[in-house]
A = this chain, B = another copy of it.
């Protein structure tokens, strides 16, 4: 049975762990953590809202501070349109276009960038074309490909957890006739590692000119690396590049569902029939306010960076290597342990951490939560894992 896994579903490690996915196909639950996770969930029963509130939530790369007051205010002011179809929508499409220096016809709204990833997949993979990307990466694109009976060509990460761009380019050329879509998650999830701008350019210049490239920049706002660059310039060049963005990460609006694609106008027109174009009024107004509040985003970025640095340093000092991250999450190597039982151990301590990301099942993905949540995490980590000598292998293995 084909299962659908949107970003919301797939990122919903929390939901899977706590039992809110009880009505979803078992294959999907399986994808969230394997039969062991399903069994553990069954054993503990569904989570109540009260239990959920008590949890430290560092599983799903959310913004645990939530949207700033400016955005909450804009959303609350839009309640008056609650029963309407056509209404003043804050000109969200125009606001996004202006933000990026593109035209409104280059913008496709989605209910989260999860919808954008699905729409791109449906547009370019229906009929049996393949998607090419790295492994592991954000699984949504691969899952949607499976759901619509398309396949994936996955290229393993290099030992240092960077994407093997040269091999991906080689595969794109070798299998050009079969490939419908080149998927580049930048920075990559679950590793938090960014692709340098030279390598993005190498992809654009060296794969077949007409091969669509989906560049997923969900975590773009957190990146500090001066060697990283956003990819909208390739859209302006007219390359078949679709850049996916979301208001679910730094903007803190995951549950409100807003994301978008920036792409050449003919590609937007091609994708539109598969998009629902069905965004709620509150987040349209919230999105406009969010684009304006650069100060709030800078504050979130600074908090995330400080907590990520501190937590990573603490883990390394405790003897466990961390993959250097450019995002609001990181991966820690578990010193030889497998991740699933570790997830359960955190769970009993009321801490929700990231699901397994095969084949990297000896790593745990940890999202950056509040200072209090990160303290709870470190305390639990030290209970679960003995102190070891500091590891010298930077890759964490």
Contacts and interface: CB of A to CB of B under 8 A. Distances in A.
Interface string A100-118: 0000110100111011001
A130 interface: no
A119 B283 CA distance: 23
A107 B6 CA distance: 17
A20 interface: yes
A360 to B, nearest CB: 20
A256 interface: yes
A115 B278 contact: yes
A8 B86 CA distance: 8
A94 B276 contact: no
Interface string A244-283: 0000100011111100000000000110111111111111
A76 to B, nearest CB: 9
Contacts of A79: 72
Given A66-B82, A67-B82, A144-B273, A87 B15 contact: yes
A104 B24 CA distance: 9
Given A49-B88, A88-B20, A118-B276, A269 B2 contact: yes
A43 interface: no
B89 A254 contact: no
Given A4-B272, A62-B85, A83-B67, A278 B20 contact: no
A241 to B, nearest CB: 20
A114 B22 CA distance: 26
Given A111-B111, A256-B281, A276 B276 contact: yes
B269 A257 contact: no
B86 A13 contact: yes
A209 interface: no
Given A20-B89, A87-B14, A273-B4, A111 B278 contact: yes
A14 B84 contact: yes
Contacts of A13: 86
Contacts of A20: 86-89
Given A23-B94, A111-B111, A277 B4 contact: yes
Nearest to A17: B86
A8 B275 CA distance: 13
Given A52-B87, A111-B276, A269-B2, A256 B93 contact: no
Contacts of A275: 4
**Chain B CB within 10 Å — which of A64, A79, A84, A272 has the most?**
A84
A186 to B, nearest CB: 21
Contacts of A14: 84-87
Interface in A1-41: 1-4, 6-9, 11-18, 20, 22-23, 25
Contacts of A64: 83
A8 B87 contact: no
Contact of A6 (B7, B9, B278): B278
B83 A8 contact: no
B88 A52 contact: yes
Contact of A253 (B17, B25, B83, B254): B83
Q: What 5 pairs across the A-B complex have the smallest Cβ distances?
A: A15-B86, A14-B86, A147-B273, A23-B104, A255-B281
27 contacts: A2-B272, A4-B272, A4-B277, A8-B85, A14-B86, A15-B85, A18-B86, A48-B88, A49-B88, A52-B87, A57-B84, A60-B86, A72-B79, A72-B82, A81-B255, A82-B252, A83-B252, A83-B254, A84-B254, A84-B255, A85-B255, A111-B280, A144-B273, A147-B272, A147-B273, A255-B280, A256-B281
